[in-house]
Amino acid sequence: MLFNSIDFAVFLPIVFLLYWFVANRNLKLQNLLIVVASYVFYGWWDWRFLSLILFSTIVDYSVGLGLKKQKKPFKRKLLLWCSLVVNLGLLVFFKYCNFFIENFAVVFKFFGHSINSQGLNIILPVGISFYTFQTLSYSIDVYKKKLEPTEDFVAFMAFVSFFPQLVAGPIERAAHLLPQFFKKRRFEYDKAVDGLRQILWGLFKKIVIADNAAQIVNTVFKHSADYSGSTLFLGAFFFAFQIYGDFSGYSDIAIGTARLFGFDLMKNFNYPYFSRDIAEFWRRWHISLSTWFRDYLYIPLGGSRGSNWKKIRNIFIIFIISGFWHGANWTFIVWGTLNALYFLPLMLLKKNRIHTNTVAEKRLLPNLKELFQMSITFILTVLAWVFFRAKNIDQALHYLSGIFSKSLFSLPEHIHNLRSVLLLILLFTIIEWIGRHEAYAIAKLGYSMKKPIRYAIYYAIIIAILWFSGEQQQFIYFQF
């Protein structure tokens, strides 16, 4: 079920009314309703995959109970490995099986042997990368005794399958989200209105910005050989806003929807395109995944401690695995490697944490140095996105070689709606810049503007969503 669909527009009010007006006096009933609603939401794509999420839930719930009873270090480690093998095994099978088959065939062919490389007909379950990491955080934290395991199976099911963030995050930590299922939740009008406001802004990002940018991106990438370097750069530029509007828009809708039901989810995006270096960008982009890899992989590997060789090794491991997490394609691995190369000089020079505040804090406009830093960081990010968007390495390299040609300085070719989408992106960027201190760009509309002005802006956003809506586009991160 897509957030930007009629199905969800009907589904959400029904669940909301049942949650607050039928099950409101019984916490367990509310949790059970969330489980049922979440399974309906997930099963809307393909009901067969419900068995996978249920299986992961049972495994990690059982591992948690086993870790609670077991005191012997070896057996505790065995239980943790059980969780790791099952969850990562499912992820590898459904997401990477054909990738490994194809690449083994290439290796054998290189050495003069031919093997049958016919891939398996495997359908990738929506959101498997997200809920797999979420359940793993529970098992790992219980193993490390950072979290007390739960005996309430319904609450644990609700935690794993919570429909607002089930298929594309944020990837919640068990220590943050799970305890919220044990606290009595009361309807708060201001909190619900704030949730609706964030949902509205998320829909604007997705439908007005991402989906309209996608039309230009698809045209340019599909016929990249026919366009000049300037047009190719614009195609990559539009993709940067497509993926940001698409993914951060999903996160806004997820966080806002959760708030309607009395839950707080972690912030997943913090205005990443206003970053002054790549290190700051990665503290602001897909925060739930970046911090997951930091806490469960980077720090256990040694983090930034030890020799420069170990620091370099850890950086490449974290970025390459992060790239591979996104998809079974060498383009994602190269994308991760490229970001590691961007990041490396900052770390070696110990400048990777110099920009921890908001850019142009307490000022309306950035100074020339900040503007230059943001521009360079954004351009580097745009170039890296080419690998993320391309179908294969060859297409990405040809695309980049086309950008870095003499025609980069020529006027771009005419593409339908290019100017109007550019204006929309400019308006969007201005609004994001003004609201960069807030949890989401239009959050302060709730308390800083008079009611008539506030509602005029709301209606303008709704009209823009209706006016610029076209063919329904699936969220990009559903494929991950």
Number of H helices, E strands in the chain: 19, 0
176, 223, 286, 326: which is the annotated catalytic residue? 326
Respond yes or no: is residue 326 known to be catalytic.
yes
Q: Whole-angstrom Cα distance, residue 266 to residue 58?
A: 25
Q: Which of 28, 29, 34 is nearest to 15 (CA)?
A: 34
- Give per-residue burial for 360-380: e unless 16+ CB within 10 Å, then b: beeeeebeeebeebbeebbeb
- 16, amino acid identity: F
Q: Which two tokens stand for residue 50?
A: 């419900």
- 279, amino acid identity: A
Q: Which two tokens stand for residue 19?
A: 């949650």
Q: Whole-angstrom Cα distance, residue 32 to residue 30?
A: 5
Contacts of 444 (CB under 8 A, 6+ apart): 435, 438
What 3-state DSSP class applies to 385? helix
Other C-beta atoms closer than 10 Å to the C-beta of 94 total 20
| Catalytically annotated residues | 326
